[in-house]
Structure 1
Amino acid sequence: MQETDALETRLRESVERREALAHRMAEPEVLADVGLLRELAREHSALEPLVRASERYFKLLDDLRQAREVAAETDGELAELAAAEAVELQVEREAAEVELRRLLVPGDPLDDRPAVVEIRAGTGGDEAALFAADLYRMYTRFAAESGWETELIHTSEGALGGVKEVVFIVRGTEAYGRLRYESGVHRVQRVPETESQGRIHTSAATVAVLPEAEEVDVRIDPADLKIDVFRSSGPGGQSVNTTDSAVRITHRPTGLVVSCQDEKSQHKNKAKALRVLRSRLLDREVAAQEAERARERRMQVGTGDRSMKIRTYNFPQNRITDHRIHFTIHRLDAVLGGDLGEVVEALRLAGVEERLAAGAE
């Protein structure tokens, strides 16, 4: 009840703010200042979806109150109809409240950025590399279903069709915003193809999702870079290029190392590697800020902690569990096939709830 009261208070404040902005925009001194008028108009426009949703929410509350009163004060068929209507209105109210909580949280300016996704095989040998390849397919299929584009930056293949490491960029509406909570350690429990005794093994892979940085976000001093070139190699170390087109960039101040060998052009590989390096440097800043907020508010989702075990994929039980929000579904095959929307949405909603609670502090 306390949370609902706080929500309604914030909604009324938003409605009042929009009305105040409308009056302010009509003032002669504001009309004479094009820059100020544009700024106020932008805020007024941004509040419009929230105000419309608020009006619908308060109407639902009023209709629900009336239906409950009729159900309590009458008898017979009319009471039954009112009670049934109250149940339906309660479901609508809960859905409207979820949507309002999302609208109340200011959007992160990074959410619309492309996402740089890095997947690395962890403990488990060849089975971990196979799992990393499964995660790569899962994300690329999810991207395709979401109407996003993917660009491969770097891959290091392992045995049996697995990957030791793969780096790619996902571009599309809210790509980073929807994928950001995938960062962390993903654990798989299954019987490996190479296991003759039928025993279940546990392996892991790490995922890091970074917002793609622009040059204005991160300034890199060329003197801080150590650039090495070498020949691209395929599985087993075999050369796939007769020229030194692969590039390895080391950022001396931080020790970050980025390699790229998927293009035949050294210039293109260098450009791609620099893009990833900028994104990693920006991500260090974002992760530090999120970790600080986590310490202050005990946040579970947006901690920026890349070493935290976040999810388990249990094949014998056809189960996926996200440990941060205690979310479990029994559709493992579908999720690994790219049907990741339910998981992503649950995490994003949890992130919204955290940010809403933090804003209320």
Structure 2
Amino acid sequence: MNRRSFLMVAVFLLAGCTASTGNDGRAARVRAPLAARPADLQVRRVEVGVPRWYDRPYVEFGDADHGYALFASCAGRPPSSDCPARLYATDDGGRTWRRISHPRPLAPGQRLEVTSDVPALLVAGEGWYYSLDDGTSFRREPGAVTPSVLRALRGQVQVDPRTGELVRWQGGGWQPLPSRSPLARPTSVYGADGLVVVTTVAGGRPLLAVSFDGGVTWRRPRLVTLEGDIATLRVAASVAGDVWLIGERAEPGRFPALWHYDGDWRPIVPPRDPGPYTSAVPFGENRLAVSGREGGAVVLADGNGDLREESWPLHGDHRLTVLADGALLARGPDDLLIRASGEPGWVRIVLESRRPRTDE
């Protein structure tokens, strides 16, 4: 089932409160054409119909095309009658933006998340508002726990936030796996088809459990322990299903321990320390994108961890995530950059509030 089909099924399976919204604004005009910048950086700068007294928006993408922007404060103040929160959406990679109605424009303490192409707002004290139809309407789910449909989009197998047990999304709901994981307190899990990978850490040692039959039987592979204690161990996969283990160190900024699955869990040791480290995500086959103080680099599983420096326009504050279509997103304190899958360069997304007219 493709992603769109899944969402359509979810509409019928999930019941909830729907707040009717509509598209009350036309697509915003791109103020400047896409222009080349040093280090393969392009800028998409768009002016939207937001008064200039609004603060900079929070922008999030689910894939390289679908993104949302939340304007939710003015001069650091929460939403009010003269500063209601506003939502904008793009489906062309930020070239144009359209306004969509906000389900709770005056609510304080709201946060925007986007999973795949589904926008969701967490409103303090109220719960979640999410849309399965590109922002045309929103459903409400009370409570702080992430709605089931959003969790399902993030992965077939999850750790149940209530019980700590492993569950799989089946038939519009979460069902326990056939047998319990041999790890008492799993902290990270990945599941696709019949493969389930579960990790945790005990006493600074990485622990791993793997099932190849959907959780019916389990194996406990031994990981070759690299030098130093591991603080947390997470399993991460590219959209192609290329699986890595990333062992974060106790010392902040120290490069993590890495393992790659190629029929066995092989430790990956770059020939040199890439320097202070910020984030790492798998993308494509046998490649791990890394950001840090020195910029960007790629660790190649082929050749036991060859390190390839990249002229990416990143700095030490950029944190990488991989989107639903394999695109890379780099978020810094002041900007957001996207590198679409298969594209050589990066795009900086910039939304600006309406500028005052020069004849006023």
Would you tell me which structure has more helix in proportion to its own residues? 1
TM-score (normalised: structure 2): 0.20
TM-score if structure 1 supplies the norm length? 0.20
Larger Rg: 1
Greater percentage in strand = 2
